[in-house]
Amino acid sequence: MFGLGKKKVDFHPVFAGDVVTFDDVPDAVFQDRMLGEGYAVVPQEVDTLDVLAPVDGTVSKVFRTLHAFAMKTEDGLDVLVHIGLGTVELGGKGFTELASKGQVVKAGDPVIRVDAAAVRAAGLNLVTPVVFTKKKQVQSVDVTEGRANPSDVCCKVKLA
């Protein structure tokens, strides 16, 4: 339907940390897969966090408050990276845009820099979901949980 075929796409953590399924994200929107299936990464305790592209593709949107960005993979898969929970309330404070809409990025390229210490000081959780937002594009999602670095593959998506 989308020309996606039965191809598999490898995804990487958006930063070093612990990869978890949405069942372990303390937010019903993600637990109930309201936005789609995916995985999340819990960062290590660092003061500054560069949120990286999880896959090769094009940045299709950087939200005004910089708490999230969207990408389209080379295969046409739509992806949303939502940095933390409740972070939209910060209005962009503590977030710096490193890649802009329309920019082609490779997995591991930095997209948003976060003052993680300030976000934690505001009482917000930095668990970062990576969501495959168009359910009809995805046949299956296989998440490898546990500690991972940005060079590791932590999720394999079979396209519909």
Active site residues: 82
φ, ψ (nearest 5 deg) of residue 91? 60, 25
Contact 4, 76 (CB under 8 A): yes
Which stretch of DSSP H or E encloses residue 61? strand 57-62
The CA angle 89-93-98, to the nearest 5 degrees, is 115
Burial letters 9-43, b for 16+ CB under 10 A, else e: bebbbbbbbbbbbbeebebeebeeeebbbbbbbbb
For the record, the structure tokens of 62 come out as 């950087």
